[in-house]
Chain A
């Protein structure tokens, strides 16, 4: 695949057409339709409102290749196993391929189905189509369409009706190989919770490389009535990464989703999170933390669509931007005409640690119902001078005081992660950022 820019569409098409000739007809069709959408959409530019603050010029100018074999494929990837516990279920993909060395899927509890997407295309066609084909697919961005066209390896998780497997499921994607030319990966995960089912899923994206690589990830979540999902997404890619992600979740009546998005890695990172509250009583809690420094850019776009009455959504996104880092937050809340008694809350708070750091934050509310409770807020600030002096007056050096106060600022989001080992892992990553 050559650079995915409009001038190179013939090469991208060639790469697309030569990819996986063995796919079944329905899958080929699905991918071809997505490719058409990608071509029709074209790659975004800053002239588009959705990409106003995020330039992807660098991404477009890099010639990525997919698929390609690594020059060197590491047998072991340092640090990967630290991301999950002994008792967890883990599907680990190293450079887009399921790693038998790290994957742990033995003794999967009753009611839980865990398989690769490849297996799911053979065994779970109906479910796969249901998750992938959403009515709003047409509106998805070029990257989302591209992700679907190139549909890479990933996991299919299904929890059957009423089942509540206790073990946490980790889906880890690591870019570890050394490549001749910048590689591109298209990880794709599907999560389906049947009525009353519960699960905990942690997605982790890691990378070791300082040189460019492209990860274009997509995750589809569907929660049937009364289902409950605790979801964490960790983006700790290498410094050279371009990481684009699109996560969708559809919630039926009384379903509950808690999702925490953590981003500390990559050169350019754009995360689109779209939640549809499609059943009364559904509750979604979206929290995010982004730590940005150097020449990094992290852009979080959230969309919460209240389509029915009596649903609740809360959002807390916090960012710490240091050096010349740039952050973007855009939070859309739609409250449709029928969505009476909606309760929606959104707060974005940012801490700028340098005069060159930048954040663009924009709440967007579209409210068509009249009986709703919607609050939103955005704040950008520096560290509180009074707090700094207080800590210094107790002997802490300015740099240590800054570190403690910044850590305190982010802890509010980390506390949203219920699971202690995952929270500690994120605290560890946070510590690394503040050193």
Chain B
């Protein structure tokens, strides 16, 4: 689904990813771990197409429904309409924009591109309430408010999961979805991700800590250091890092 080869990318002329390779297939969950400044968040922004981050060389190949795409040539919105989703580490607040209105606009933009039928406000309201129910979210609390405005840290992350549920992406990048969450919020977010797992989609979880990986069990764990993946393994690698830290991997 996603094949990254020898990717070099950076921001403001500074190279951060220095030859990163990663292959993600349908149905898999990959965890990317690494110390601060290793390039974890840069990787998520490069995949999503943040305009400040430039790819200088390497390959960012994406396959969806047997179609090959070069993500680097697509705009952020085109990537999203092709099924790429980034759950933000810091979800953005938009005063004045209703959460449900936003969700519907995003949903319709994506289904329109896929040739499916758009939903009117009434139908969408039923649809999104069902998604809230599925994720165990209090719909009144989430839908009637302005997008992320006055949301707690945990609510913002759960709102990202709700967006993911509404848009049903094929490839979801979760950028530190666990940061700043207490254990209840962490469990709620992890539950949501686990419910959305399926044989046709894949997740890349970017995290600093092992903690969330006991709730969302990854198939592969990669360690990112200085812009490259320095070690890959199974879920046990995360436990080893928890016990030993990163230093032994950075020699």
Contacts and interface: CB of A to CB of B under 8 A. Distances in A.
Contacts of B110: 394-395
Which residue, of B51, B76, B91, B102, has the highest number of chain A Cβ atoms within 10 A?
A: B76
B119 to A, nearest CB: 14
A127 B76 CA distance: 63
A78 interface: no
Interface in A366-403: 384-387, 389-398, 400-401
Interface stretch (B7-15, B60-68, B93-101): B93-101
Given A393-B77, A395-B81, A398-B77, A408 B94 contact: yes
A408 B99 CA distance: 11
A395 B167 contact: yes
Contacts of A389: 50-51, 76, 92
Contacts of B49: 392-393
Given A390-B88, A395-B110, A412 B76 contact: no
Interface residues of B, number: 29
B48 A394 contact: no
Nearest to B146: A408
B92 A386 contact: yes
Given A400-B105, A404-B102, A404-B105, A393 B80 contact: yes
Contacts of A395: 77, 80-81, 106, 109-110, 113, 167
Contacts of B163: 394
B48 to A, nearest CB: 5
Interface residues of A, number: 24
A410 B163 CA distance: 24
**Secondary structure call for the A interface:** helix
B95 A394 contact: no
Interface string B50-88: 110000000000000000000000011101110001101
19 contacts: A389-B51, A390-B91, A390-B94, A392-B80, A393-B48, A393-B76, A393-B77, A393-B79, A393-B80, A393-B86, A394-B77, A395-B113, A395-B167, A397-B77, A398-B77, A405-B94, A408-B97, A408-B146, A411-B96
Question: 9 smallest A-B Cβ distances: which pairs?
Answer: A408-B96, A395-B80, A394-B106, A408-B97, A390-B92, A395-B109, A411-B96, A392-B76, A392-B77
